[in-house]
Amino acid sequence: MHRSWDEFAAIHSKACLGSKLEIPMESFTRAVEIVLKESELQDSPDFRPSVEMWRYAVRNSGYVQARVATARIQRELSSFV
């Protein structure tokens, strides 16, 4: 697996989101953006972002907050049916 996927899976599990792991494009692109910005000074042909860098990026991507908000909205909407 890819480091970013592993980190999203880990944070998904740690947050006890319960539902299937689905990564919104906004969260994924935000994580990639964070990695690119954090690593720009280290750039070289052999550079590979570390596990710690991916972990930091995923945790700061807004993924958990987005999933929690989506679940809450879905619960609220289902109460109207």
pLDDT, tens digit (0-9, with 9 covering 90-100), for 14-30: 999 888 899 999 999 99
Are the C-beta atoms of 11 and 59 separated by less than 8 Å? yes
**Against a cut of 0.85, is the pTM above it?**
no
The full set of domain ranges for the chain reads 3-78
Whether the pLDDT of residue 1 is over 60: the answer is no
> Angle at Cα 9 formed by Cα 11 and Cα 58, nearest 5°?
55
Are the C-beta atoms of 27 and 78 separated by less than 8 Å? no
Phi and psi at 43, nearest 5°, equal -60, 130
pLDDT value of residue 74: 84
pLDDT, tens digit (0-9, with 9 covering 90-100), for 18-74: 888 999 999 999 999 999 999 999 989 999 999 999 999 999 999 999 999 988 888
